Amino acid sequence: MSRNTRQLPVELSPSTQEQVHRRTLVVVIFSQILGGAGLAAGISVGALLAQDMLGSDSLSGLPTGLFTLGAALAAYLVGRSTHSLGRRLGLAFGFIAGGIGALGVVVAAVADSIPLLFLSLFIYGAGTATNLQARYAGTDLAPENKRGFGTSMAMVATTVGAVAGPNLIDPLGALADAIGVPTLAGPFMLAAGAYVSAGLVLFVFLRPDPYLLALQIEADRTTSDARRSRTADGPGSPAAPPLGVGAYVGAVVMVLTQVVMIAVMTMTPIHMRAHGHEMAAVGLVIGLHVGAMWLPSLVTGIMVDKLGRGPMVVASGLTLLTAGVLAAAASGDSLVLLVVALVLLGVGWNLGLVSGTALVVDATVPQNRAKAQGTIDIFVQLAGAAGGVLSGILMAATSYQWLALGGGTAALALIPVLLWAKNSDRRQAAP
């Protein structure tokens, strides 16, 4: 038996498994509170920092693109390391790498170094990917009828740090000024400490490893002695079944909602500052948006489990459409309407991520789950990178209103994806 699994108990009673699952959720919740604070820095001031250093509005979406590209690479690495080593090490090192990247952004701002800024933003993206990957730790030991809840509890903890971060822009900026650091680099100082702390929490306390334990439980439940001996050499098994249709549907849902959310969210601070809004107002709007991305998980996880994955995917598309229409309709000085639009943008993204995650978990087994999750999150992050980079170009070529309206309309593509999946299931079920 491999050194990764031999220390795990061969048999667990349902009550013991539930206890381990609850402990896992507690550890993940604490790490996600810290991770949310780190995540908020790039969302809040990344585009503004680049705008100041590059002197160009058309390239202001580049930071989002860079740290999202970094997140794509990190998603791959975290997924592969989880498959081999478990959740604990992959998540811990991913958060620590994000903290190092955030510190590099601060140094780049002080030195006014564009190359270092780009490199650091790329590395900072590891924290973003890890923050998303941590949601899967909440599902590893969850029963099928509670997978949405497991995902949501891992996500909702992010709300505390993610909402606090943007609303600390002014005091962190003042602190940065006091120590000779550019004002907009202040939130990245918080991100560095928060990400590293999140990584240490996971490294120290995420024991036993939920993914490795889920592998062992699955092997004990469903395999023969001969199969157990073949899988004992490593978590991966060449006999793992192919992915179900739901995995592909879940991937499309998460990719599309990520593109729409990133594109509109990235350009909102630029749009607001161009119309004379103070940084405190920008922090308020983005803080409420980030809160709406994560806080609804208290309810959406339960809704996904009770009402079904499909209806919640449709709700995601309709909510994102409404957000795009309201953002497009808002005048430049309409703070209230922008708040409502960005809150709905966050809610729509949340609905898509929770339902899409549940679809992926439903359509996989422990033997192929970590690789599938990591691969899917690569596409999610790459889609976000494209949305971040193209958003600045599109807004410069057209307007914020057209960008928002186009994003909301694109979200409706989620509905035909669901119809295709249902038709595919019917064809497979037909004799």
Compute the distance between CA of residue 39 and CA of residue 128 in angstroms, rounded to an integer.
6
For the chain, which ranges sit under pLDDT 50? Answer: 1-10, 225-229, 232, 236-238
pLDDT of amino acid 426: 60
pLDDT of amino acid 1: 39
Compute the distance between CA of residue 134 and CA of residue 191 in angstroms, rounded to an integer.
17
Going by C-alpha positions, the residue among 15, 290, 30, 322 that lies closest to residue 153 is: 30
Place of tokens 């030991």: 141
**Long-range pairs, 240-243, Cβ under 8 A, ≥24:** 240/365, 240/367, 240/368, 241/365, 241/367, 241/368, 243/363, 243/364, 243/368, 243/372
- SS3 of residue 135 by DSSP: helix
pLDDT single digits (tens) 148-160: 777 777 777 777 7
Going by C-alpha positions, the residue among 325, 329, 328, 323 that lies closest to residue 342 is: 323
pLDDT of amino acid 403: 92
Domains with residue ranges and CATH for the chain: 14-429 (1.20.1250.20)
Q: What is the pTM of this model?
A: 0.73
pLDDT of amino acid 338: 92
pLDDT of amino acid 229: 47
pLDDT of amino acid 151: 77
pLDDT of amino acid 340: 94
Amino acid at 206: L
Residues 394/269, Cβ–Cβ less than 8 Å: no
- Which phi and psi (to 5°) does residue 141 adopt? -110, 10
Q: How many CA atoms lie within 13 A of 117 on its CB side?
A: 24
Burial profile 402-412: b = 16 or more Cβ within 10 angstroms, e = fewer: ebbbbbbebbe
Distance of alpha carbon 108 from its chain centroid, rounded? 25
Residues 338/330, Cβ–Cβ less than 8 Å: yes
pLDDT of amino acid 8: 45
